[in-house]
Amino acid sequence: MHEEHRQKLIKCAERYAEARQIVLSIPGTSVIEDIQYAMCLINEERKANTWPDKFKQKYDLSLAESPIKEALVAARILEEFSDLITVLHRDLNYDWCWAVNQTGILNKAIGYDNNLEECDSMEEKEEQKKQPIGKPDVGGPFELLNQDGKLTTNNDFRGKFMLVYFGFTHCPDICPEELDRMSEVIDRLYNDNEVGKVIVPIFISCDPQRDTVEAVREYLKDFHKDMVGLTGTFEQVAKVAKAYRVYFSRPPDVKEGEDYLVDHSIFFYLMDGNGEFLDVFGKNMTVEDITDKTKQYIKNYISDGGNLVPLEKKTK
CA separation for the pair 1, 111 (Å, rounded): 28
Residue 40, annotated as binding a ligand:
no
Which 3 state secondary structure label does DSSP give 78?
helix
Long-range contacts of 308-311 (CB under 8 A, 24+ apart): 308/159, 308/160, 308/161, 308/198, 308/273, 309/159, 309/160, 309/198, 310/196, 310/197, 310/198, 311/160, 311/197, 311/198, 311/200, 311/226
Q: Is 170 annotated as a binding residue?
A: no
Residue 171 is assigned to a ligand binding site:
yes
Q: Look at residues 191, 215, 189, 198 and name the one whose alpha carbon lies nearest to residue 161.
A: 198
Q: How far is residue 251 CA from its own chain's centroid?
A: 18
Question: What's the alpha-carbon Rg for the chain, to the nearest Å?
Answer: 20
Binding positions: 171, 175, 264
Residues annotated within a binding site for Cu cation:
171, 175, 264
